[in-house]
Amino acid sequence: RLLTSRRALREEPVAPFSYYFPCQRWLAVEEDDGQIVRELVPVDEAFVKKDSENDGQSPATLGLEQKAKSTTYTVKVKTGDKKNAGTDANVFITLYGSKDDTGIVSLKASKINKNKFERGKVDEFTVESVDIGDLKKIKIGHDNKGNSTGWFLEWVEIDAPSLGQCLKFPCGRWLDKSEDDGATERIIFPAELQTIEYIPFVPYEITVYTSDIFGAGTDADVFIVLYGSDGICTRQKSLCLNKREQRMYFERNSVNQFIVELEDVGDIIEKIRIGHKGGGLNSGWHLDRVTIRRLLPNGK
């Protein structure tokens, strides 16, 4: 009888279980944050069902749910001011935390310079990842491909607003097969004395409605500032990551939604300041309204 019971347990079919990993974001150097690889976390099946039933949950919103669950890192990389310090090779980085690591991330789209990793220049990149815990070390290197591959890396700075930490990783060495020890990648640890701690940022879901009148849309750089009680306010934050997004969003009669990490102004938002920086052929904008939702750690 015991054998029969065991056999029945072994042969009992396992109920199928599905995991839902929405993305709805670009994997392209010229789009979004410039990343061509993304980590996706599962969302509740209810979100997918809402989408399929046209119950107000759009695919774009699912992508925003993903983004709200991610940790965003701003990575600044300083190339040394030495002869032949710059590189044309493909540079990559891996962030290691107390819980996990990001995997290999290609640093392809600098927010500051069209030509990356030039002598004496600082380049800035965005890296998104699931929660890896406290940042412990990084590995950075290149594939040694191109005409000028040798690279002198001065330092790396990583800012994680949702964690309230900005860490400096000093290097000051060559990543070059013909210089130093010949290594093209290095593991670097943060300098404790250069670590900056601050109050963690929180994600806000910002929905912008452009009016349905002639010429309402804009291609300008739209920014926002949130004001809480007791004079607390956020920094001025652009809603678009690049000029391509500026051309895509804020069209006539459009609804655009963003997840933006900003300083926590508290439970009450007393007012907002929203505008654009002008310039371009179509900068005038007719704004209908803005809705804002402060996202808590559980995504509510």
Q: Are 222 and 202 in contact (CB under 8 A)?
A: no
Q: Do 76 and 122 reside in the same domain of the chain?
A: yes
Question: Residue 55's pLDDT is what?
Answer: 46
Q: Which amino acid is at 290?
A: V
Strand, helix or coil for residue 245? helix
The radius of gyration computed from the CA coordinates of the chain, to the nearest angstrom, equals 23
What is the rounded CA–CA span in Å between residue 266 and residue 108? 36
CATH code of the domain in which 168 resides? 2.60.60.20
User: For the chain, first and last CA: distance in Å?
Assistant: 51
Q: Do 34 and 52 reside in the same domain of the chain?
A: yes
DSSP 211: -
Domain boundary among 137, 163, 197: 197
What is the rounded CA–CA span in Å between residue 88 and residue 205? 38
Q: Do 147 and 239 reside in the same domain of the chain?
A: no
Question: Residue 27's pLDDT is what?
Answer: 78
Domain of 272, in residue numbers: 18-56+201-294
pLDDT means per 10 residues, the chain with 300 residues, are 49 62 73 73 61 48 60 93 93 93 89 91 90 92 91 96 93 93 95 92 92 92 92 92 86 92 91 88 89 70
Q: Are 102 and 43 in contact (CB under 8 A)?
A: no
Domain boundary among 163, 197, 231: 197
Q: Do 189 and 211 reside in the same domain of the chain?
A: no
Residue with tokens 């907002």: 272
In angstroms, the Cα distances linking 279 to 96, 99, 189, 210, 236 are 41, 45, 42, 19, 18
- Taking alpha carbons only, the member of 63, 70, 61 closest to residue 291 is 61
Burial class of residue 230 (count of CB atoms within 10 Å of its CB; 0-12, 13-18, 19+):
exposed
What is the rounded CA–CA span in Å between residue 292 and residue 264? 13
The answer to whether residue 12 sits within a structural domain is no
With b for 16 or more beta-carbon neighbours within 10 A and e for fewer, the 24-44 pattern comes to ebbeeeebbbbbeebbbeebe
The answer to whether residue 66 sits within a structural domain is no
The answer to whether residue 136 sits within a structural domain is yes
Q: Are 153 and 79 in contact (CB under 8 A)?
A: yes
The answer to whether residue 7 sits within a structural domain is no
Domain boundary among 197, 218, 238: 197
The domain total for the chain is: 2
Q: Do 209 and 193 reside in the same domain of the chain?
A: no
Question: Residue 219's pLDDT is what?
Answer: 92
The answer to whether residue 61 sits within a structural domain is no
Question: Residue 162's pLDDT is what?
Answer: 86
